[in-house]
Amino acid sequence: QVQLVESGGGLVQAGGSLRLSCAASGRTFSQYAMGWFRQAPGKEREFVAAISRSGRSTSYADSVKGRFTISRDNAKNTVYLQMISLKPEDTAVYYCAGYRRLGIVLSTDGHFYDYWGQGTQVTVSS
């Protein structure tokens, strides 16, 4: 198994920026495709961004495309989510997740993800 720990959340004004980090345990991080999901109060979890094991392929939800960037550093066992031009509707708990189904480059479906962090709160004020 792998353990994931998110950090970097906080309170920011609309138009501001934050960078989230997700640190993974173990020595096999490069075998995991990674993703970010978020859940706002009273709403279901939704996909935000995903990245392949190599970092060469990425995918984004339409709501964040052009504003968020997912990246990874396999040498540091860390995946990042750079968020700019934040909006109040971005307010949510952000979760990092991973899976190691080797035949699937990346996935926007949370069902594929086997390991989840405990989340970090992002609050964007208007």
Confidence of residue 2 (pLDDT cuts 50, 70, 90): confident
Looking at 1-5, 74-78, 93-97, which range is the least confident one?
Answer: 1-5
Alpha carbon separation from 100 to 32, 78, 114 (Å, rounded): 5, 15, 8
User: How does pLDDT run across 101-116, given as a tens digit for each residue?
Assistant: 988 999 999 999 999 9
**Confidence at residue 73, expressed as pLDDT on a 0 to 100 scale:** 96
Is 1 a residue whose pLDDT tops 80? no
Scored b (16 or more CB within 10 A) or e, 64-76 reads: beeebbbebebee
Confidence of residue 38 (pLDDT cuts 50, 70, 90): very high
Report the candidate in 37, 45, 11 with the shortest Cα–Cα distance to residue 123.
Answer: 11
Confidence of residue 27 (pLDDT cuts 50, 70, 90): confident
**Confidence at residue 102, expressed as pLDDT on a 0 to 100 scale:** 84
Report the candidate in 105, 109, 98, 124 with the shortest Cα–Cα distance to residue 32.
Answer: 98
